[in-house]
Amino acid sequence: MAIIVGICGILLIGLVLWEGFETVVNPRRVTRRFRLTRLFYRRTWRPWVKMVTSFVPQRRQETWLSFFGPLSLLLLLSVWAGGLVIGFALLLWATGSTILTHDGSTGFLTDLYLSGTTFFTLGIGDAVPGNATARLLVVIESGMGFGFLALVIGYLPALNQSFSRREVSISLLDARAGSPPTAGEMLRRHGHERGMEALRQLLHEWERWSAELLEGHLSYPVLAYFRSQHDNQSWLAALTAILDTCALVMAGVEGACKRQAELTFAMAHHALVDLSLVFRTRPGQKGHDRLPPEKLTELRSTLAAAGISLQGGEVDVRLAELRRMYEPYVHALASHFRFTIPPWVAEEHWVDNWQASTYERTIRKAADKAKGEHF
């Protein structure tokens, strides 16, 4: 029995250490089917979503969904620490529970207590190892506790920096493509003189952003559960708007930066497909049609008013082909993360986030009132 318990302890310690290595240290996508970390997120995210959608008012659901990322990270670190503590307690028990205590108590609970105080380097001294094997285990666990603390200290700042870099570009997209970002608004707002050159530069920046998004979320998958500051923004909405814009330019926007759109589309599509593989979302599920014929007609009118011509005929066929390349992945990821997919054309009543403060609303109401009185 002691041998079996000892083997279980070694396997548990090895599993936790390997999971920590793959999640924090190794910056590569893990392709094996079973992972403790992946199982943890799949078994906690879905119940969390069900709880939020069932008991939280709709206007507060986005806020509660945003709590999951930070809370799950703390819980995952606690699971790892608990697994190591239990693993070493099993090894101590397998050596015969030779623990010396002030009150003479023995057994697995005493082993668990010694393992916990050793791992968290408390050094209370009321329970000490009684033989050479137990002392060796205590020394190893104490060093592992220090290493775990260093791992957490190094992991959290890197995670926060990656999140900040992602969100800065999303915030910059607000004035360029609206809130939420749409392809129609992005092209319309670049319909001015030299607008296509500015659009080319923007797509170049978002080609790099897509690459950074892919690498950051492959290295730290938990980042995908960290939601943006505003309810109408998300990394998936920004990525979708960029893909929509590139698809329009590639399909037939006259005088646009087609080559840069092709490069950005390729990188953004790559990020979308790889993230779908990481989170095991099925792209086969079909969502609502984001661009029905009436919306496409409205999109043409919006672009024409801004001086941008969108050809017909073969353009519609080409646009439909490009949409089929990425929209199934968008719908699958949006369903998994409970994100709202942005439309192609912005609604008239939508206001950018930078205009949404109370002061800005007051200014706009006063301007509208003065305009009405003038007429």
Q: Could you give the percent of the chain with pLDDT greater than 70?
A: 89
Q: Could you give the percent of the chain with pLDDT greater than 90?
A: 38
Neighbours of 74 (CB within 10 A): 11
Would you say 352 and 178 are in contact if contact means Cβ atoms under 8 Å apart?
yes
Q: What is the pLDDT of residue 211?
A: 95
Q: How confident is the model at residue 103 (pLDDT cuts 50, 70, 90)?
A: low
Question: Where do the domains of the chain lie?
Answer: 2-153, 173-361
How far apart, in whole angstroms, are the C-alpha atoms of residue 352 and residue 172?
Answer: 11
How far apart, in whole angstroms, are the C-alpha atoms of residue 160 and residue 163?
Answer: 5
Taking residues 365-375, what's their average pLDDT?
A: 49
Longest dimension (CA), the chain: 94
How far apart, in whole angstroms, are the C-alpha atoms of residue 308 and residue 261?
Answer: 16
State the average pLDDT for the chain. Answer: 85
Residue 2, H or E segment: helix 2-20
Kindly report, residue by residue over 288-331, the tens digit of the pLDDT: 789 888 988 888 888 888 888 876 668 888 999 999 999 999 99
Taking residues 229-258, what's their average pLDDT?
A: 89
How far apart, in whole angstroms, are the C-alpha atoms of residue 243 and residue 259?
Answer: 14
| Of residues 217, 230, 234, 75, the one with CA closest to residue 159 | 217
Q: How confident is the model at residue 159 (pLDDT cuts 50, 70, 90)?
A: confident
Neighbours of 122 (CB within 10 A): 10
* Topology (CATH) of 2-153: Helix Hairpins (1.10.287)
- Predicted confidence (pLDDT) at residue 375 exceeds the cutoff of 60: no
